[in-house]
Amino acid sequence: MPDPAFQLDGRLLFRADRNQQSGKARGGGLCVYVNKDWCTNCTLVNSHCSEAIEHMTVKCRPHYLPREFTAVFVTAVYIPPGAKANEALKELHNNISSLQHKHPEAFYVVAGDFNHVNLTDTLPKFYQHVTIPTRGNNTLDRVYTNKRDAHTEPSPTPTWASLTTSPSCWSLPYRPLLRHHTPTQRTITVWPSDAVPALQDCFQRTDWQIFREAAVREGEVDLEEYTSAVLGYISKCTEDVTSTRTVTGYPNQKPWLNAEVRSLLKARDAAFRSGDRLALRAARRQLTAGVKRAKAAYAQRIQGHFTSNDPRSMWRGIKCITDYNTRDAQCPRDPSLPDALNNFYARFDDDDTSPSTRFTPHQEKSPSG
């Protein structure tokens, strides 16, 4: 059947017709409708048809999307009642895993008729959101996402048909990170281009012997006073040639986001509001190139932590990769903790003076005896 027979007003149509590999005599297939008011930048990623499963994936790149998500992947699934669950799950797992490997920060929606198959058996990080029966007393039609609170339906809900035809039956409790995490502010030191030469000139003109003579007490140099005086002077000279600035960090901000990418984002938004399609395409191309450059620079900076032969720098790189936050770890302040640890780990070093005894098992008499 031609596409106009399935076309809906204000919707983009993506279809995957059933072929002979499905093993069925009658036609059919899958289709996905995307609201044009939400997204127009959509592409068909892949489709598959076999006796075990039919699935189709559509990639959506809406203009307005939470920054923690790079794209939205919608996968329509149909698993026949007589299909083997292991084969269907294997095919679906390979498809979703390959997409997650290429797009780890995307939002995934897997929906359709699963019949007797449960997706969480192979993908435990996906959550099922349909909690009402859809076929009699059974829940065969399911919706899975990779976010726990991404979608909920009110109770009571009439039928599955009303869920699919009335979007107002569903609510979106998901809140972006920017709304439920407060931004953080930190002060950084800005070094102008002429700060290093000015600081070097200041140190060359400094008479360092004055600090040593001032720290002499009864013919001996007080190292603590000498060190504090020198460090205080260095800090004062550094503050004279540098400036400070307050930087605001947002919870959804990517670590590779720099000033160039921010300016390209503003240019793309301005082109989108103007309605000029040619300018929007050019802005998107420039933004894509700028993001690639920023990610490459960030990758080189992370790799530099492991090539400097500095344990502190290597640990800093590990924290960046694993997103480890030292502020979340709280060490106990109990002064008796070191002694308790020493006693625990040294408990085997004590001399055992008790005599060893051999255990002799009790021999029961045989019934014949």
Task: Please write the tens of the pLDDT for every residue from 108-139.
Answer: 999 999 999 999 889 999 999 888 888 888 88
pLDDT in tens, 213-225: 888 888 888 889 9
211 and 317 both lie in a single domain: no
Say how far residue 354 (Cα) sits from the centre of its chain.
Answer: 58
- Assigned domain for 195 exists: yes
Give the residue numbers spanning the domain of 315.
Answer: 254-326
- Assigned domain for 353 exists: no
Checking if the pLDDT of 364 tops 50, the result is yes
pLDDT in tens, 285-302: 999 999 999 999 999 988
Helix (H, G, I), strand (E, B) or coil at 47: strand
266 and 240 both lie in a single domain: no
Cα–Cα distance for residue pair 22/28, rounded to 1 Å = 10
- Assigned domain for 45 exists: yes
pLDDT in tens, 182-225: 888 889 899 998 999 999 999 999 999 999 888 888 888 888 99
Alpha helices in the chain (DSSP H): 85-102, 160-165, 177-180, 195-204, 209-214, 223-241, 259-274, 277-304, 311-322, 337-345
For residue 119, give the DSSP letter.
G
pLDDT tier, 356 (very low <50, low <70, confident <90, very high otherwise): low
- Assigned domain for 335 exists: no
User: Into how many domains does the chain fold?
Assistant: 3
240 and 108 both lie in a single domain: no
